[in-house]
Amino acid sequence: MEVLGPVREAHFSVLKAAVIDSGLCTRCGSCVGVCPEKALAFDDPLGRCLPQQVAACTSCGLCVAACSGQEVSFPQLNRQIFGGPPRSALLGQYQSLYVGHAADTAVRSRGASGGVITALLLHLLEEGKVDGVVVLGMDEDQPWSAKVRIARTAAEVVAASQSKYSLSPVNTALAELEQADGVFAYVGLPCQVHSLRKLQAAGHPGAAKIAYVIGSYCGNILHFDAVRSFLRNNGVKDLGQVTSLQYRAGEWPGYMRVELRNGEVLTLKKFYANYLIPFFMVERCKLCVDLANEFADVACGDAWAPVYEQRGLGWSLVMGRTERGAALLAGMARAGKLTLQALPEEEALAMHSHMLDFKKRGAFLRMEHRRRAGKAVPEYGFGPEHIPWQRRFFERLLGLIFWVCSWRVSRWGVEHFPLRITGRLFELARVAWKRLTRSTKRRGLNQAQFRTVGADEKQSRIRQGR
């Protein structure tokens, strides 16, 4: 109980006012998953995807305690999980750091990058270390929609390979876990893991059954309207025409691939499909400060570096954060199930410097802007000591771009422009933008200093609108 303490009584209306209505909901799914009365559900899962009350609330307070939207104390979670502050201010705590891939070529080629997460889950099941795995697959009845499930066979794990880039409240699975027998592994995004760790500290029976937490890197998630826009651009207005949707099909880095009932196949290169991000990114993602899934046992992300991108096939950056996670990786490498090579921290930082800057500095600037506008912001218990003025100016420019892209006319325009031209233009613009802003984004990033924010300072900041 070190992090949450006793769960206090609170009605769902408290969560709705403080988190949902204020734009802080991460859609992690925990409030729905832990509700003992099944009084909560997600409205419009392929739209706003927000929790709502559908039956009588008993004011147990579990939904408020589980929430990852309003407050996640990084200093407290670091003490809870690792016993102290992290090894890296940007990457979090880790005991081992690698670049590598699954040794099984079929697993590697099917994964989003190197197939490491799938290989880990298969190993845990095969060795009897877990009885099931919480994964996000695609719904057989609605193949355009992701669906969380507890996989208990190798085939079910493999079927859930690859990333899903639309809102998916994975922690709704906590309700099923609470009733299930056994020990489980779990795959989640940072905000989902934040909530899970809070619930484990509070002794929630479903969360307590999760022995291995596998986390993927996450820069942002998109509203499902991104998929709809892609389909409409290709003349598809009825989701019922879709028989298969993959976000990272084919050889790494992959491509969006949609199969239709008439046999037609729609594809778009991964880097071209990124044009959807500024138009359909979930606003709450702009306030998240965790790219590298800092509280997982094992964290994995794409190894974005020319030396690996040019090789193709799929490469992952892999971190063993806890003793359990590091031992799992080392054991699988010895058994020949993973191909891993040690990676210096500087290279790991360089692979994701753009998004680390977006999270570790940009998010705090965006929160600062919201405070001044009188809007609610999440509390993380820490903040940067100093952000250069050049980076502050850059954030204003980036904010302007996101604002323009949020206009309805902008979304309409990009939806009616030829996709391959849009994708190519976006890729060229992305490369030019990275070169243009490289020095601004990286200036002082690796030397960034952070400080713990105490309760008194938080209250003072709230009163001053900062």
| Residues 81-102: tens digit of each pLDDT | 999 999 999 999 999 999 999 9
Determine if the pTM surpasses 0.75. yes
> Between helices 363-372 and 389-405, what is the axis angle to 10°?
80
**Domain holding 52: CATH number?**
3.30.70.20
pLDDT in tens, 355-383: 999 999 999 999 999 999 999 999 999 99
- 65 within 8 A of 7, measured Cβ to Cβ: yes
Is the bond into 85 cis (omega within 30 degrees of 0)?
A: no
Report the chain's mean pLDDT, rounded to a whole number. 92
The answer to whether residues 62 and 153 belong to one domain is no
The answer to whether residues 98 and 170 belong to one domain is yes
232 is a domain residue: no
- DSSP string of 86-118, one letter each residue: -SBTTTB--SEEEEEEESSHHHHHHSSSS-HHH
Q: Which of 292-296, 394-398, 423-427, 430-434 has the highest mean pLDDT?
A: 292-296
Residues 6+ apart with CB under 8 A from 208: 200
Domain of 449 in residue numbering reads as: 354-463
Residues 6+ apart with CB under 8 A from 240: 261
**Residue with the two structure tokens 């409205």:** 43
The answer to whether residues 291 and 370 belong to one domain is no
Element (DSSP H or E) covering residue 269: strand 265-269
Strand, coil or helix: 417: coil
The lowest-confidence range among 62-66, 309-313, 348-352, 411-415 is 309-313
263 is a domain residue: no
152's tokens: 């208990």
The answer to whether residues 204 and 338 belong to one domain is yes
pLDDT in tens, 235-276: 999 999 999 999 999 989 999 999 999 999 999 998 888 899
Of 352, 374, 398, the residue at which a domain comes to its end is 352
Of 352, 386, 412, the residue at which a domain comes to its end is 352
Separation of first and last alpha carbons in the chain:
31
Strand, coil or helix: 465: coil
The answer to whether residues 369 and 379 belong to one domain is yes
pLDDT in tens, 153-211: 999 999 999 999 999 999 999 999 999 999 999 999 999 999 999 999 999 999 999 99
Identity at 269, one-letter amino acid code = K
Q: 93 to each of 82, 338, 371, how far by Cα in Å?
A: 7, 22, 29
User: Total structural domains in the chain?
Assistant: 3
**Residue with the two structure tokens 């794990």:** 157
302 is a domain residue: yes
The answer to whether residues 331 and 306 belong to one domain is yes
The answer to whether residues 371 and 428 belong to one domain is yes
Of 321, 352, 383, the residue at which a domain comes to its end is 352
3 is a domain residue: no
